[in-house]
A and B are shown apart, each in its own frame.
Chain A
Amino acid sequence: MKLQGSYTLPAKREVVWQLLNEPKQLAACLPGCEQIEAVGSDHYQVKLKLGFAAISGSYSGSVRLSDKKPPESFRMNVEGRGTAGFVQGEAKIELVDDGDQTVVRYSGVASVGGLVASVGNRMMELAARRILEQFFANVASQLRA
């Protein structure tokens, strides 16, 4: 599953960068994040409740940030597993100045396995997109706050 898109955030990219690299604030933005814990530099253990409407599952896993080029770009690697299967994804995230705003471009690949892969095919991509949108919307509202 290829995921690609962009989102405009209401702050300069240095501010955005800081937020995305601060575990507490990041946690507040991750949809369904119940727990986040730094276990190394740029390496977090997370517990997420992910899903869509009636369909949801608990996942535990890790988020790693790498190839950091502040405040321009980084790579994010997410791994999680839960009763409904597993999720793995890696994306390159770029921050581009746009006046007072920042355009975040992401492009990556995610794979889903287990139950959700074998029965949720038709809604998976859309659900993933919605979760990402939710994430950025949360970031935006954090920035506004």
Chain B
Amino acid sequence: MIPAAFEYHAPKSLEEALRLLNRHGSEAKLLAGGHSLLPLMKLRLAAPRCVIDIGRIHALRYIREENGRIAIGALTTHSEVLESPLLRAKCPLLPQTAREIGDVQVRNRGTIGGSLAHADPAADYPAAVLALEAEIVVASADGTRTLRAAEFFVDMLTTALLPGEILTEVRVPVLSPRTGTAYRKLHQPASGFAIVGAAARLTLGPGGKVEHVAVGLTGVAPKAYRATAVEKALTGKKVSEKQLAEAARHAVPQDVELLSDLHASSEYRKAMAVVFARRALEDAFSHAQGKKK
């Protein structure tokens, strides 16, 4: 497992990283935790001429509450997300998702920014950031811009990041009381990636009606998506497990281009999307009702 030769830079600040990125353009790849890029490079499926290792920019590693949202620096590892008391208390969906990523070694190295920017169709975080209606902050030499999660994912391995941009922060909401969340996943048995991953967030209003619900699905299609038909079927209604199951049947819209591989055919994926969407909704619902889960 020997990569092709490459030029290596390890900037200490975001500004330096942006300068390097501008200088090297499309010949450069950003390296954060290294759990997506390095395996590709070792196999020589990727052979960038230049690697900019942003892993040492410590200023991009934080989890803090500001202006009613929680801001997570792009270089925050999956372990840090998993163990964050702040996230556990105020936005547990992210820790619930991080728990299902890879193994301990992967979680200790892999970063939320790296995972989102790589946009693997089977990665876990995309489902969660969609369900959280997160904001994704990106920086370039010209300043920063903020993208909605739904517009960030463009296609398999493709995001709305433009050349010269670096993902710097993910912002998620502080969840209101009576909100339940869950991430349920069918693991690919070899890689641990999601064959299907379903993230659900459900808020009950007064009278027990569903005030807000969001479901993100990963692993099913070239990019993670919001299951809007499921959401529509539940919003504003007083629901029971039966309705949740009914709604989950709409987890896969007609026009979705289903993935298929050695481990799961498109037919099986589609069926599992329904099952795991339902399971995530059930968990989120009982969590929202204040039941222990």
Contacts and interface: CB of A to CB of B under 8 A. Distances in A.
Interface of A: 52-57, 83-84, 115-116, 119-123, 125-127, 130
B271 interface: no
Interface stretch (B66-74, B137-145, B254-262, B274-282): B254-262
Contacts, number: 49
A115 B46 contact: no
Q: How large is the interface on B (under 10, 10 to 19, 20 to 34, 35 or more residues)?
A: 20 to 34
Given A119-B43, A122-B261, A126-B156, 6 more contacts: A52-B156, A53-B158, A54-B37, A54-B46, A54-B118, A123-B157
19 contacts: A53-B156, A54-B36, A54-B40, A54-B46, A54-B118, A54-B157, A55-B40, A55-B46, A56-B46, A84-B44, A119-B43, A122-B259, A122-B261, A122-B262, A122-B263, A123-B157, A126-B222, A126-B259, A130-B156
Contact of B44 (A52, A53, A83, A125): A83
B155 A130 contact: yes
Among B29, B45, B46, B262, residue most surrounded by chain A Cβ atoms (within 10 Å): B45
A103 B178 CA distance: 53
Given A54-B37, A125-B260, A119 B156 contact: no
Contacts of B116: none
Interface of B: 29, 36-37, 40, 43-46, 48, 118-119, 121-122, 155-158, 222, 257, 259-263
Contacts of B48: 54
B contacts with A: majority SS: loop
A131 B118 CA distance: 19
Nearest to B45: A55
A84 B222 contact: no
A120 B259 contact: no
Contacts of A57: 45
Nearest to A122: B261
A116 B45 contact: yes
A84 B45 contact: yes
A53 B157 contact: yes
B187 to A, nearest CB: 14
B51 to A, nearest CB: 11
Nearest to B120: A123
A83 B2 CA distance: 14
A127 B121 CA distance: 12
Contacts of A53: 119, 156-158
Contacts of A56: 46
B156 A123 contact: yes
A83 B155 CA distance: 26
A125 B222 CA distance: 11
